[in-house]
Chains A and B, each alone.
Chain A
Amino acid sequence: DVKVTQSSRYLVKRTGEKVFLECVQDMDHENMFWYRQDPGLGLRLIYFSYDVKMKEKGDIPEGYSVSREKKERFSLILESASTNQTSMYLCASSFLGRGSTDTQYFGPGTRLTVL
């Protein structure tokens, strides 16, 4: 079975702190994604990566950066956390796909609260 793990289930940080969210997948997937999920807004794509050291902005990249130094690991970084970044963060991975998008496999999520 595909396994996508996230470093924390719950995280509480203070405004201005630098926050690292880690995601690891064990299926040799090329693609990895970071979403945030807020009530009434569904899932919104923050960043994604289709290869090591490659990254693409999603719909809401402001205030976030990412790092992919190894194929299995994709990190989301909040350089200076703010209260409006309080949210559920979901990581996902998938194969690159041939001509169309493959199934995405999700981690359990990290609920981040910024005080």
Chain B
Amino acid sequence: SQQGEEDPQALSIQEGENATMNCSYKTSINNLQWYRQNSGRGLVHLILIRSNEREKHSGRLRVTLDTSKKSSSLLITASRAADTASYFCATDEAGTSYGKLTFGQGTILTVHP
């Protein structure tokens, strides 16, 4: 079953602009993670935010989490052409065990030079 729903499905911006991707989920979570995937490759972990956190930063990335709305957003500031990739949110559902994550369908980000 799909837990995370991402919006938009695709985003096209110019270099230097900010990119915002949103993720909504349905059940209570322990944490929410964002991953990046370059075309045809494996996923790379970007950032993890716990259910008791509201905002987290890592370099040009800013993640927010609103557990009352069951939603999260990933902001990439001052985007670069190298940020072109697919971005996935993944949720760790509360009450599940053994480290399972449920992934959304992803947002395809294209950054034009």
Given A31-B98, A103-B45, decide whether A42 and B105 contact each other with a Cβ distance below 8 A: yes
A50 pairs with B45, CB closer than 8 A: no
Q: How far is the CB of A64 from chain B (nearest CB, A)?
A: 16
Number of interface residues of A (CB under 8 A): 34
A101 pairs with B30, CB closer than 8 A: yes
Q: How far is the CB of A6 from chain B (nearest CB, A)?
A: 8
Task: Give the residues in chain A near B102, CB-CB below 8 Å.
Answer: 45
Given A100-B50, A103-B48, A109-B41, decide whether A43 and B103 contact each other with a Cβ distance below 8 A: yes
A42 pairs with B2, CB closer than 8 A: yes
Task: Give the residues in chain A near B99, CB-CB below 8 Å.
Answer: 30-31, 48, 50, 94-97, 101-102, 104
Q: Verify if B88 is at the interface (C-beta below 8 Å from A).
A: yes
B41 pairs with A42, CB closer than 8 A: no
Task: Give the residues in chain B near A56, CB-CB below 8 Å.
Answer: 98
- Complex Cα gap A108–B97 (Å): 25
Question: For residues 15 through 63 of chain B, which have their beta carbon under 8 Å from a beta carbon of chain A?
Answer: 30-31, 33, 35, 40-45, 48, 50
A90 pairs with B103, CB closer than 8 A: no
Task: Give the residues in chain A near B97, CB-CB below 8 Å.
Answer: 50
A residues engaging B (CB < 8 A)?
4, 30-31, 33, 35, 40-43, 45, 48, 50, 56, 58-59, 88, 90, 92, 94-97, 99-109, 111
6 A–B contacts, CB within 8 A, in A order: A92-B42, A94-B99, A100-B30, A100-B50, A101-B99, A104-B33
